[in-house]
Amino acid sequence: MKRIREILLNEYIGAIAIGFLLAQAAGVAITLIMRPIGFYLDRESRRSIFGTQSFPWGTMVGPAINLVLYAAIAFGLLYWLYLKQAPQNLPSKEAEERSE
């Protein structure tokens, strides 16, 4: 895993992947916001003899799960690659005494 982390960091593949996942999450978030707005703005044209229809909230579950997964993976990668400190090889007391 250390080698994969180094490749993702040094070749900027990790940054590109994080950016892509966050862009996907933003697109899904905008879609989740616009669906109910569009439904309620367009409800006048959908009137029927049975009355008005209510918004199908069940159709929002799939995109909401996608949004959560995109964001979780993006922030997981962000933490693993950039926020988590790589283990440093701490010099021993003997090496410090030799350098003095």
80 secondary structure, DSSP code: I
What CA–CA distance (Å, rounded) separates 62 from 59?
7
State mean pLDDT over 68-93. Answer: 81
- 49 phi and psi angles, rounded to 5 deg: -70, -15
Taking residues 93-98, report their average pLDDT. Answer: 53
Question: Residue 84 gets which letter from DSSP?
Answer: S
Q: What is the pTM of this model?
A: 0.71
- Identify whether the C-beta of residue 74 lies closer than 8 Å to the C-beta of residue 25: yes
More confident position, 88 or 15: 15
User: Confidence band (pLDDT; 50, 70, 90) for 11?
Assistant: confident
Find how far residue 48's CA is from the centre of its chain: 40
pLDDT in tens, 17-76: 999 999 999 999 999 999 999 888 887 777 767 776 788 888 899 999 999 999 999 999
* Helix and strand totals (H; E) in the chain: 4, 0
Higher pLDDT, 98 or 47: 47
